[in-house]
Amino acid sequence: MNFPSHVNLPADAREELIDSLNTLLADSIDLHWQIKQAHWNIRGKHFYSRHELFDELAKHARKQADEFAERAGTLGGYAEGTIRLAAKNSELPEYDLQAVDGDAHLRALVDRFARYGASIRNGIHRSEELNDPVTADLLTQSLGEVELDLWFLESHLHGDVRATARRGADAGDDAGTRPPNA
């Protein structure tokens, strides 16, 4: 911790929360720029609607970054939000630079959003364990937005055999090998 805080939480709990928020800050900054990568480079069918969708989703990630940084500051922490710090601290994989067509971008973003959402969910659980309902609430609100954004992305892939097969494999069943409605 770098700054005094009179938030009524033990110092060690605040420090752990600040670390978690800084990781989520790095992830949200990284996600923002990965979405912009898709926004700038998308080609193919449905270009305009996906280009606009990606821009809207990038705004959400940017807002979340700001909220994570401000909560870290509220707890007495120093927000580590430069591009270089985000690149160093992000838990998201590097963006697929081979993605050009819309579906490739969608699949890459679905993966990033799912990972980002899982990290936020873990943060919610840990915030609750540390008795910090404010951080848990902030993360819960963010997770709701992330999961809604994920749904918008996944909806564009509806009927994509590769996405269906991957979901079935991830679930550990043979759903991905069956045609829809089989």
In a domain, 2, yes or no: no
| pLDDT score for 89 | 97
Q: Dump pLDDT digits (tens) for 6-44.
A: 999 999 999 999 999 999 999 999 999 999 999 999 998
φ and ψ at 59, to 5 degrees? -60, -40
Task: Return the CATH number at 55.
Answer: 1.20.1260.10
Contact (CB, 8 A) for 109 and 153? yes
144 found inside a domain = yes
Tokens of 109: 């973003």
100 band by pLDDT with thresholds 50, 70 and 90: confident
Domain count, the chain: 1
**pLDDT in the model for residue 160:** 56
> Residue 31's domain spans which residues?
11-164
Task: Encode pLDDT of 141-180 as tens digits.
Answer: 999 999 999 999 999 998 755 544 555 455 444 433 333 3
In a domain, 171, yes or no: no
Q: What per-residue confidence (pLDDT) applies to 166?
A: 54
pLDDT tens-digit readout, 41-77:
999 888 999 999 999 999 999 999 999 999 999 999 9
In-domain check, residue 170:
no
Contacting residues for 124 by C-beta, under 8 A, at least 6 apart: 136, 139, 140, 143
To the question of pTM greater than 0.75 for the whole model, the response is yes
Q: Is residue 156 part of a domain?
A: yes
Inside any domain, residue 97 = yes
The answer to whether the CB of 76 falls within 8 A of the CB of 14 is yes
Asked whether residue 181 carries a pLDDT value surpassing 70, the answer given is: no
Please list, in sequence order, all residues whose beta carbon lies within 8 angstroms of the beta carbon of residue 5, skipping any fewer than 6 positions away: 14, 74, 75, 76
Is residue 172 included in any domain, yes or no? Answer: no
- For residue 103, is it within any domain? yes
| Per-residue confidence (pLDDT) for residue 162, from 0 to 100 | 56
User: 123-145 pLDDT, tens per residue?
Assistant: 999 999 999 999 999 999 999 99
